[in-house]
Structure 1
Amino acid sequence: MYVAVKGGERAIANAHALLAEQGRGHPHLPVVDPAQVEGQFGVLVSRVMTEGSLYDPELAARALLQAQGDVLEAVTLVRSYRTTLPRFGYTCAIDTSGLAPQRRISATFKDLPGGQQLGATFDYTHRLFSAAGAATPDRRVSDGVDGEDQAMPRVADLLGAGALIEPDAHPDQDATQPGDLTREPPVFPMSRAERLQALARGDEGFLLGLAYSSQRGFGNTHPFAGEVRVGEVEVEFDAPELGFGVPLGRIEITECQMVNQFTGSAETPAQFTRGYGLAFGRSERKVMSMSIVDRALRSAEFDERVVSPVQDEEFVISHSDNVQATGFVEHLKLPHYVDFQAELMLVRRLNEEFKESRA
């Protein structure tokens, strides 16, 4: 056993050295600086920060370099580091109602107060490789909003003014403080606030697949994109001894509100319902998927039948966390010699008994 352990240690050390050598790439090429990753892979950095539950673009860029571009490995690195940080308290809930967007679009109204603001988007690109060294567009050119800053009320607020959409919050939702899933294990059924925490940390690809399944008919959520906004908001630290929030700085976020139809009931008039998503940085696909899944998981609120996986809270929440999923799947690469030998012996014995029974 001692020899096997020592041999294993040497093999693991050699594997680490080989990994570092492969990650370095060709020695004649310059080393990639984390600042380059942060500046040129903003969407990827945003995903690592969101699913890693830590807003730190520089650290997310370092994690991506160390993980050689493996997003789930980078998320694991960020979460592991996050657990070593001291917890001083909580921030105040960020106010996105006055979010000054770098990008703001809606698929529900053509003429919005404040206008559509395209900003930086892949939506209208041709999905062709661009020429190396292509000229950067002149940033002085207007992208949809003229002159001075204009008020940009939320689409949901416009619908709310006519009582055409459910209220933004229900009285019972604010009765208790939401739990912290980074410190407490989930308990089903969860509150909507706790579900949104889990979905924000959830794997983008998994949520995208669930959202797509609902749109295709494995669920009943085929919404309108009420509004997608990308911009910076101020974050304040909640200091109870002071009685007011202390500004910490600004962070970039993406917010989405989906508008979903609801036929009403004997007690409720016909109105639209909401799905919500919010994530760090530029994360449009994530927040759109998140908002569709959020609405699908609200089936109990509207007495809807649960007939699809995307509506099953325990299924969605228990399988959306990519760090847990990665660990559980990839642990199969570790030694399972004893377990397999036990099953091998069982199969051999059952085969012998089967042969004897047929003799």
Structure 2
Amino acid sequence: MANHPDQPAFPFRRPNPLRPPGEFERLRAHTPMTRVTTRLGDTSWLATRYEDIRSVLSDQRFGPHLHGGAMGWVGEARTGDSLFQDPPGHTRLRRLVSSAFTARRAEEMRPRVREIADSLARAMRDAPRPLDLAAWFGYPLPITVISELLGIPQEDRKQFRAWSDTFLAVSDETLAAAAQAWSDLNAYVVRLIADKRSGTGDDLLHALIAVRDEQEDRLSESELFMMAISLLVGGYATTANAIGIGALHLLHNGQLGALRADPSRVAPAVEEVLRQQAGGGEMRRVAREDVEVGGVAVKAGETVLIPLEAANRDPGQFADPLAFDIGRAPNPHLAFGHGIHFCLGAALARVELQEAFAALADAFPGMRLAVPAEEVGWSVRLLDEGPKGVPVTW
């Protein structure tokens, strides 16, 4: 599609870390399906209403689409070996790992998640203040959980995070560093699979290797590799970001103490934190055939941007959508997506977030932001957007 300079440029600028860009509200009221120019200079449809975004997510006439540009070094061919593809490949691969991420399995992991969260909180108490909650708590918690699930050695986790942070933060200016980090992570995962193949263990990666080696028709070597990468990175990055965003909102609104006073409020508070997620602004789907969405004709081959943040602030679905309400009910947010690509790790993420905020509320009744929320630095990454850090004191 041709580039049209008179179209709005997307993504939109965010003047306040606690608020979505105002363009979502204005477009939703007047042109809920509109053409925009993306950061890559191409044209795409942008959906801003909850019902349209949910429809695109669930309509199998739309397929997954990873755009080029900053993402080009990942390699379009490799995505065909990942969970991010159409059925039947998606169905086969998801079935191989789904049992490790059921709600029941997540509940079985809850005591260990609580133990990790409490340990990190204790370490924070002994550290000089102010400190960055994201660095001390938000990232280490999900990294530890997913590493233990997959069997990643503890001594490798710091380097793994450095690589993934580098390529997730990729922009045109940091393309070379991102490509190198991706290459280094690739090489590490290849070595990790080889090491595990020569030994025994009861972690998820060992189980996937056994499937590959014993039943080749169910999992190819390239699919095994991409599954390991996807679970490693996807298993920590967005959850870590949610902890940062949640802490930012809870502290800004003075509501962390409410969770300590009434632990039953933790679960609904987590759902509101998830609704506040700013991630996936450039999530997109490509039309496999001509489809009508929101009263406009989307032609086969055209892409539709489906920012979950816009859906989760739609006043047609949520009363007072800009308010942070830890008692909001019902709360049918789309933070984990919808349809066949609904987030595989949703149940585990919920457990991690619930235990994270319960631990923080219990350990730090006097915690507060060390700077005004509006001054918190913001980062736009491949998978999401969120605070660069959350400076706190108590």
Task: Report if TM-score (shorter chain) is over 0.5.
Answer: no
Q: Which is richer in strand?
A: 1
> Which structure is richer in relative contact order (CA contacts within 8 A, separation 6 or more)?
2
TM-score, structure 2 length as denominator? Answer: 0.24
Greater gyration radius: 1
